[in-house]
Amino acid sequence: MKNDRLKSILGIPYFLFLVIFVFFSVLILLYYAFTNGAGEFSLANFTLFFTDSKAIGTLIYSVMVAVVTTIVCLLIAYPVAYLLAKGEFRRGNVLLMLFVLIEGNLAFHPFLNTVIGMTYDFLPFMILPIYNTIAKIDHSYIEAAKDLGAKSYRVFLRVILPLSIPGIISGITMVFLPSMTNYV
């Protein structure tokens, strides 16, 4: 009983944060999206956006940059995460932490709106979920596949890759959405 009450009390700051910074922000956003300058209901903002070729061009360019950034991050992050999780490193967790800390503190932001800069910025968001997923794969699955005669590449394609898909999806989500809004 005390533990439930303590959890409720500790959840109050989080709830207040969500109400103030998320709920009210979304209400303000919706208000400005569906009203005109006089505060009357209008869809003019949407029709203006979808009829302006410059806005559509910017949207398409943002999507293209986000897709390329996500693909490049995935191609770099998967091998790094795999090596950190399954490699012969004794301190894979320490290397991962150092990689994230160094990446976050270097000043590379003049190139932020390029694919290279966004790949640099968002790479840890792809590495971390993939690393966590691969690190949690039960080694007995890999041993069983090898015992049944599967070669290393088949073990990877039939066991490790399918079991790491949740981490890949999480990483794609964590990279695509911020990189999409980063350019816009």
Spatial separation of the C-alpha atoms in residues 87 and 109, rounded to whole Å: 31
pLDDT value of position 45: 87
**Selected residue with higher pLDDT from 95 and 43:** 43
Average pLDDT, rounded, for the chain: 85
Per cent of the chain over pLDDT 70 is: 85
pLDDT value of position 107: 46
* pTM of the predicted protein model: 0.74
Q: Is the pLDDT of residue 120 over 90?
A: no
Nearest residue to 175 (alpha-carbon basis) of 95, 44, 65 = 65
Spatial separation of the C-alpha atoms in residues 78 and 69, rounded to whole Å: 14
